[in-house]
């Protein structure tokens, strides 16, 4: 073989192409080309979602259960298992690519925040990033102190901040900035840390702004906030582009360990954030230089990836982070463009799988100030829990996986236009009645719809307590080929994809595992302090499922405790809400630090009680029906 030989790989229908070395991984070539390929498992061959069709040339692929011999003969391969052995022409499914696109600039509080922008504006405004107009004393032959000395003296006199930290980037411009407007200047200060963020010559009468940012495993949400009034000036939201490298945090960590993986994960995320910031700022009438701070909340893995810090030890025993709270930085240091003078802060995390997003959530819920026993649940990609009150708090992460965000379920998609969000089943005909987000025909089913389906199938006898289909009830919507049965929710002719939208026993199994992990986490946390679910006085629900979640169905499937439904409260995206509160108030930010220090973390992966509870949860609703008295009464009355 000639040395340095390259093969040309062309992708359809995009028309993009790339030259790669012999044996190069086909999925990697797709990603290198800037295309998106559905890859829930991050490229380890276990999700079956990265299939492509080789139209010309040869790619050598390992055998996989996801590709039948007939499909193999037609040219189908899993791209993550295929090596490039010649020039290739490859068809990459186009529809999947749209899953990772930014949703756009529409503010959808019902989906992303749970509170309206006007409600957010009513919170305590106690700015700790401040703007002050100063007149610095002029030097003279009899008063020949340095410019820097006189600047610090003026700052101390006006703000009380003694010996502020002045970055060298500001000192470089200082002589001109001071003299340009006859010693009149405006300073932007971080009052909590005594740091000068920016300096303008002249007295400015413009307001200053900040960005509250939630970096989720699945989505990114940001608010542009007036730091003097608390008003939310605009919002942006979109998918985390790292999804193409793996849907959950474990697969992201695995990918970050590959050569160039960490830089790639950080790069795609920061690129997307930069685009969102441009839209956010250009959509308002403000000057980008007046955006002076960014407050971030995210889970530990996302924060490591954002700061470019290797997250690999998070998944290796004894499961530690590099840092639970990253140092305050400048936008330049973290790669954020367009906001050249802003400082970047993050909410402190608690432990390896309990991050600043949960600290933020506890802050937003207010449970840390209340006497009542409360449970906080963030039902996102992972499933994090905190239980306690003003005197004590304990937390854990229960590895629920991405099933409730559409991952690991064949027809699962995230909550977006075309997603089935509500389902009920007719008792006699077993026909599904569905509600779809937006005006579109259904494309798939999202988390709240999946919980409804499992609950309804169980109540109507479509499945048994183990999640297996009852095949002798005359259900015409059940299609079985040998042992592979699928319950058709929407027939091909009525869906947006032209294919059946269905749920299979494998899907049901994945969802039952996810719900078992959540409930086992709740029981285990409570048992650590000799309490039971009936002791709970409030349950706060945060996360992606949001207001679409039918609590009753979540109880019926055994995911949430069978307690008075009035105790449940939806909070929406508390991660961004807590970031907003911390941005607006120094007191709140200091409280978030105390919260993170106050929560005792329980590691469930080595907890035998958790394992017992988890196994008990692999039935609907639970092995011991006494835990679910109202469900038992409904079923056996």
Rule CB under 6 A: say whether 45 interacts with ligand FES. yes
Per rule CB under 6 A, is residue 43 in the interface with ligand FES?
yes
Residues ≥6 apart with Cβ < 8 Å to 97 = 35, 36, 37
Instruction: Select the residue interacting with ligand FES from 39, 293, 299, 382 (CB under 6 A).
Output: 39
**Residue 57: Cβ-neighbour burial (10 angstroms; 0-12, 13-18, 19+):** middle
CA contacts within 13 A on the Cβ side of 488: 15
**List 80, 295, 342, 522, residue binding ligand FES (CB under 6 A):** 80
How far, CA to CA in Å, does 615 sit from each of 27, 317, 472?
36, 23, 28
Q: What are the C-alpha distances in Å from 129 to residues 170, 193, 197, 477?
A: 17, 10, 9, 60
Q: Which is nearer to ligand FES, 164 or 444 (CB)?
A: 444
Among 30, 47, 373, 419, binds ligand FES (CB under 6 A): 47
- Which residues lie closer than 8 Å to 157 by C-beta, 6 or more apart? none
Minimum distance from residue 9 beta carbon to ligand FES (Å): 17
Q: Based on CB atoms, which residue is closest to ligand FES, 112 or 255?
A: 255
CB of 50 to ligand FES, least distance (A): 3
Nearest Cα neighbor of 441 from 422, 472, 419 is 419
- Tell the smallest beta-carbon distance from residue 241 to ligand FES (Å): 16
By the rule CB under 6 A, 409 interacts with ligand FES: no
Binding of residue 515 to ligand FES (CB under 6 A): no
Q: With CB under 6 A as the contact rule, which of the stretches 7-15, 45-53, 194-202, 456-464 interacts with ligand FES? A: 45-53
Interacting residue with ligand FES among 78, 90, 222, 525 (CB under 6 A): 78
Q: Which is nearer to ligand FES, 40 or 524 (CB)?
A: 40
156 token code pair: 């101390």
Q: Smallest gap, in angstroms, from Cβ of residue 213 to ligand FES? A: 28
d(CA 453, CA 459): 10
Provide, rounded to whole angstroms, the least separation between the CB of residue 49 and ligand FES: 5
Residue 50 interacting with ligand FES (CB under 6 A)? yes
Tell which one of 26, 41, 215, 557 touches ligand FES (CB under 6 A): 41
Angle ∠(65,71,76) on CA atoms, nearest 5: 90
Cβ-based nearer residue to ligand FES, 41 or 501: 41
Rg (CA), the chain: 27
C-alpha span between 113 and 576 (Å, rounded): 7
Give the list of residues 6+ apart from residue 613 with CB closer than 8 angstroms, or none.
Answer: 519, 520, 523, 524
Range 471-490, binding ligand FES (CB under 6 A) = none
CA distance 595 to 285: 36
Q: How many residues bind ligand FES (CB under 6 A)?
A: 12
Residues with Cβ within 8 Å of residue 464, at least 6 apart in sequence: 470, 620
Residue from 6, 8, 32, 48 binding ligand FES (CB under 6 A): 48
Please report whether residue 194 would count as binding ligand FES according to CB under 6 A.
no
| Stretch of 42-50, 162-170, 271-279, 334-342 contacting ligand FES, by CB under 6 A | 42-50
Six token digits for residue 288? 């980008």
Report the interface residues with ligand FES, using CB under 6 A: 39-41, 43, 45-50, 78, 80
């Amino acid at each position: 073989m000639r040395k340095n030989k390259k093969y040309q790989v062309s992708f359809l229908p995009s028309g993009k192409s790339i030259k790669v070395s012999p044996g190069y991984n086909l999925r990697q070539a797709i990603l290198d080309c800037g295309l998106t390929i559905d890859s829930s498992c991050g490229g380890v061959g276990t999700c079956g979602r990265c299939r492509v069709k080789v139209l010309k040339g040869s790619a050598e692929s390992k055998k996989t259960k996801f590709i039948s011999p007939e499909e193999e003969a037609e040219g189908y391969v899993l791209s993550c298992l295929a090596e490039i052995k010649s020039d290739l022409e490859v068809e990459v499914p186009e529809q999947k690519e749209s899953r990772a696109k930014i949703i756009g600039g529409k503010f959808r509080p019902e989906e992303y925040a749970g509170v309206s922008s006007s409600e957010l504006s009513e919170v305590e405004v106690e700015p700790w990033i401040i703007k002050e107009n100063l007149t610095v004393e002029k030097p003279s032959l009899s008063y020949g102190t340095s410019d820097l000395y006189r600047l610090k003296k003026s700052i101390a006199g006006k703000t009380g901040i003694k010996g502020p930290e002045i970055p060298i980037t500001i000192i470089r411009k200082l002589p001109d900035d001071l003299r340009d407007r006859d010693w009149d200047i405006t300073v932007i200060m971080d009052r909590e840390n005594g740091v000068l963020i920016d300096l303008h010559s002249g007295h400015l009468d413009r307001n200053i702004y900040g960005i509250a940012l939630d970096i989720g495993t699945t989505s990114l949400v940001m608010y542009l906030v007036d730091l003097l009034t608390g008003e939310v000036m605009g919002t942006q939201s979109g998918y985390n582009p790292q999804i193409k490298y793996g849907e959950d945090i474990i697969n992201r960590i695995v990918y970050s360990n590959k050569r160039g993986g960490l830089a790639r994960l950080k790069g795609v995320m920061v690129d997307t954030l930069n685009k969102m910031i441009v839209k956010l700022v250009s959509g308002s009438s403000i000057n980008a230089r007046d955006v002076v701070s960014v407050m971030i909340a995210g889970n530990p893995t996302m924060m490591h990836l954002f700061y470019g810090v290797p997250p690999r030890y998070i998944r290796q025993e004894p499961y530690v982070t590099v840092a639970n709270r990253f140092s305050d930085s400048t936008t330049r240091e973290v790669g954020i463009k367009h906001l050249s003078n802003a400082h970047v802060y993050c909410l402190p995390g608690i432990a390896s799988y309990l991050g600043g997003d949960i600290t933020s959530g506890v802050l937003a819920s207010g449970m840390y100030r209340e006497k009542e026993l409360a449970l906080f649940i963030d039902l996102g990609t992972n499933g994090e829990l905190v239980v306690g009150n003003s005197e004590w708090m304990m937390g854990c992460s229960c590895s629920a996986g991405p099933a409730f965000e559409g991952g690991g379920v064949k027809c699962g998609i995230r909550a977006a236009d075309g997603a089935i969000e509500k389902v009920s089943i007719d008792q006699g005909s077993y026909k599904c009645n569905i509600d779809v987000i937006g005006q579109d025909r259904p494309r798939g089913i999202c988390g709240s719809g999946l919980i409804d389906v499992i609950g309804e199938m169980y109540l109507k006898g479509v499945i048994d307590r183990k999640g297996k289909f009852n095949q002798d009830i005359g259900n015409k919507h059940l299609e079985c080929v040998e042992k592979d049965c699928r319950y058709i929710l929407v027939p091909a002719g009525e869906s947006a994809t032209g294919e059946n939208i269905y749920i299979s026993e494998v899907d049901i199994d994945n969802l039952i595992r996810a719900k078992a992990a959540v409930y086992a986490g709740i029981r285990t946390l409570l048992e650590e302090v000799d309490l039971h679910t009936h002791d709970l006085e409030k349950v706060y629900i945060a996360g992606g499922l949001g207001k679409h979640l039918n609590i009753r169905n979540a109880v019926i499937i055994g995911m949430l405790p069978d307690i008075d439904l009035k105790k449940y409260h939806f909070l929406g995206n508390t991660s961004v809400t807590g970031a907003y509160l911390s941005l607006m108030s120094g007191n709140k930010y200091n409280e978030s630090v105390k919260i993170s220090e106050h929560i005792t973390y329980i590691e469930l992966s080595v907890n035998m009680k958790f394992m017992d509870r988890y196994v008990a949860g692999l039935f609907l609703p639970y092995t011991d029906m006494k835990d679910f008295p109202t469900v038992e009464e409904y079923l056996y009355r």
